[in-house]
A and B are shown apart, each in its own frame.
Chain A
Amino acid sequence: MSRRHLGIFTAAVLAAASLTACGGSGDDSASSPKTLTYWASNQGASLEADKTTLQPELDKFEKQTGIKVTVEVVPWSDLLNRLLAAAASGKGPDVVNIGNTWSASLQATGALVEFDDAALQAVGGKDRIVPAALAAAGAPGKPPAAVPLYSMAYSLYYNKKSFADAGITAPPTTWEQLAEYGKKLSTGGKWGLAIEGANPSENAHHAFTFSQQYGGEWFDSAGKPTFDTPQNVSAIKRYIDFMAADKITNPSNAEYAQNQSVSDFANGKAAMLLWQSAGSNLKTQNMPADAYGVAPVPFLASPPAGGKKVNSMVAGINMAVFKHTKNKDGALSFVKFMTSDEEQTILNKTYGSLPAVKTAASDPAFSATEQKTIQETLVTTAAPLPQVPDESTFETLVGTAMKELFADAASGKPVTEESVKAKLTDAQQKMR
């Protein structure tokens, strides 16, 4: 090879090299015994609103312990990636909020402090914690990888005035009713049901509930994916059909991924919404609490054999501590502080969620209709998402497949059993 050719090849290598040269960036953990870094999930109407809510509590903690907590509120779209980068690099925050469905996935990285009996004792004791919430904090048979912080469940929110105008007297209790009412409500530029169609996580949560009602499972007992079973195909098709067949959902919802569906409900553009603890969000969007009703999520009118009476996942936010923290004692005392009765009452009241500890549940703030509905669902008809390491991958793959199906439905392409099955088979093939 001549020198010129060598030069050419060097130039080509360098020009093309930028591709693989992608690196992660991790924030440096600024921990010393007197400081902690905390990544909070976005629970309120905006990142800024959350910071305003949390800061006085963190100041209180600093007064009590002398430990200064620096908080960053991370949007949901970035949280899992950032946690993964922190786990991979061993750098980043000391304490984090995680979606409880990711518990087993993040636990599998081995980056989180395990809450064995001693660690649980250090944060106030196992017995205080609501058992269903603790069950969603890690894989079965292992010490939890996190401690429950906020408890939530899906409910059906409906616009009282729209219902009255359409002559509907009670919220639907079955999906068939919901479709029928939805058709009555979808007139004059308004729609029956708002859906966050381009948000894979939201989609995956509904995939779980519908699949349970149709008698399906997303993983078998060995943790292997079972995405394209007939039950799961029927379940997904039922959900997509609200847009594709019943036409009670605005096709635009196929683009929604930034909580626009909540805004549509708050602005009266849609009469129904399936959401977790939407109350505080609706309040900031100027929808008064007496303008909407809250009811349990519907069931199938005649469930097939094996169908379960499940209408929500056990939703919630957990608090985890990274093993790489240089201030484990401080981190644990911060977890203890955040799960104390007082903080649980203050924070859950603001966010409209339920306390994850039994001892705070008696506060009158948690007996409003919305909270009572959530409570009842959690106790009777909610089930945890499968706590397997591949759970977060399931959310991404199946949630994205559903996003694509919504896009098909929105652009008028038919959504059939075959097209749903094909998407789910593809998604399953990408698991390993």
Chain B
Amino acid sequence: MATSTTAPDADRREPRAGSPARGPARRPRGPRRSLLPYLLLAPAVVLELAIHVIPMVVGVWMSLLELTQFHIRDWSTAPFIGLENYRATLDLNSAAGKELLHSFWVTLAYSLLSVGFAWLLGISAAVVLQRPFRGRAILRALFLTPYALPVYAAVITWSFLLQRDTGLVNHVLVDQLGLMNERPFWLIGDNSFWSLLVVSVWRNWPFAFLCLMAGLQNVPGELYEAAAIDGAGFWRRLRSVTLPMLRPVNLVLLLVLFLWTFNDFNTPFVLFGGSAPEQADLISIHIYRSSFKTWDFGSGSAMSVALLLFLLVVSAVYLLITNRRRDDHA
């Protein structure tokens, strides 16, 4: 994706490079020569097919079948039911449809908030650590710790911390600081959404920090000096130098973070143990529950495909808008 940011320039140069003056006349087309590029491409194409395209096509095919426990062993016996799975799962008057929609809104709110906070923390830390000072290396390493920890180990620790009777969070809040009279629940009820969000931000912000820190290395110091001579203060420099220079990084970072959080399965699965409370019922867990727990892989696939289409549209619109804007700026 990073290459797409340089694509327009390449596009513009291409006609010149491939002008008719050079070309077929000077390159005799033997069968061997024309095969070579394809051979070189083949491993990538095969892997792409095996890892992305085939599972996707299989997923779409599954969504058209009534694939329940009776047919899971031999798919060829599963009745073809066309769009029935889509009708059943996307019908907003049915319980399943309502729950899917609820889950969709929860996931959207979760993703936007999580990406927003992760980015905010990431940029703050990156800017603070931009200039060398004593202990900077230690802080950098410390900030990256959540990203380096294995996700299961880290989230299980959070689930222990957040337990009502034995968790450290309530111990500090209630027993030591005396901020509340009642021990609140963190893993069930309304608080579960915020718990999930905190854990997600904690896990994701180091990645934002890492990318933005790398991006900041490429901002020439002269720009800041020039801005300082022009009398720009900290905020003005941040707004007029740092953020515009980080634009290409942000473009990719925000999209990737959004897709990751939207699809995040590990965090809710480990935090809530398989079935999340409805306030934190992320769509990935919801689909997992529909497919595996109720053994209905057809409707689980239908939900996945619907979600794929949604993310496809979001990603495409996002890339179109950001590309158009860059063209305007150019």
Contact = CB atoms under 8 A, between A and B. Distances in A.
A23 B188 CA distance: 30
9 contacts: A11-B4, A12-B319, A16-B315, A106-B69, A407-B277, A410-B188, A426-B99, A430-B290, A431-B294
Interface stretch (A176-184, A295-303, A334-342, A389-397): A389-397
B79 interface: no
Interface in B15-54: 51-52
B143 interface: no
Interface of chain A, helix or strand or loop or mixed?
A: helix
Given A8-B316, A255-B188, A430-B96, A109 B69 contact: yes
Interface stretch (A61-69, A81-89, A204-212, A356-364): A81-89
Given A88-B72, A109-B72, A110-B70, 10 more contacts: A13-B312, A15-B255, A16-B259, A20-B301, A87-B72, A88-B73, A90-B73, A251-B185, A400-B293, A432-B68
Nearest to A13: B312
A18 B263 contact: yes
B273 to A, nearest CB: 6
B320 A392 contact: no
Nearest to A107: B69
Nearest to B163: A255
Interface stretch (B125-133, B238-246, B303-311): B303-311
B7 interface: yes
A327 interface: no
Interface of chain B, helix or strand or loop or mixed?
A: helix
Nearest to A428: B95
Interface in A64-123: 77, 81, 84, 87-88, 90, 105-106, 108-111
A181 to B, nearest CB: 23
B55 A22 contact: yes
Could you say which interface size class chain B belongs to? 35 or more
B69 A404 contact: no
Contacts of B59: 20-22
Nearest to B316: A12
B55 A393 contact: no
B274 interface: yes
- Max chain B C-beta neighbours (<10 A), residue from A90, A397, A403, A407: A407
A210 to B, nearest CB: 21
- Max chain A C-beta neighbours (<10 A), residue from B1, B56, B295, B323: B295
Contacts of B70: 108-110, 389
B216 interface: no
A251 B182 CA distance: 12
Contacts of A251: 164, 185
Contacts of A14: 52
Interface in B288-306: 289-290, 292-296, 301, 304-305
B312 A252 contact: no
B185 A425 contact: no
Nearest to A110: B73
Pairs A-B, 9 closest by C-beta atoms: A12-B315, A16-B311, A20-B59, A411-B189, A429-B95, A407-B188, A21-B55, A12-B316, A426-B95
Given A4-B7, A18-B263, A11 B319 contact: yes
Contacts of B320: 5, 8
Contacts of A430: 95-96, 290, 294
A186 to B, nearest CB: 15
Contacts of A404: 277-278
Contacts of B73: 87-88, 90, 109-111
B327 to A, nearest CB: 10
Interface in B255-292: 255-256, 259, 263, 273-275, 277-278, 289-290, 292
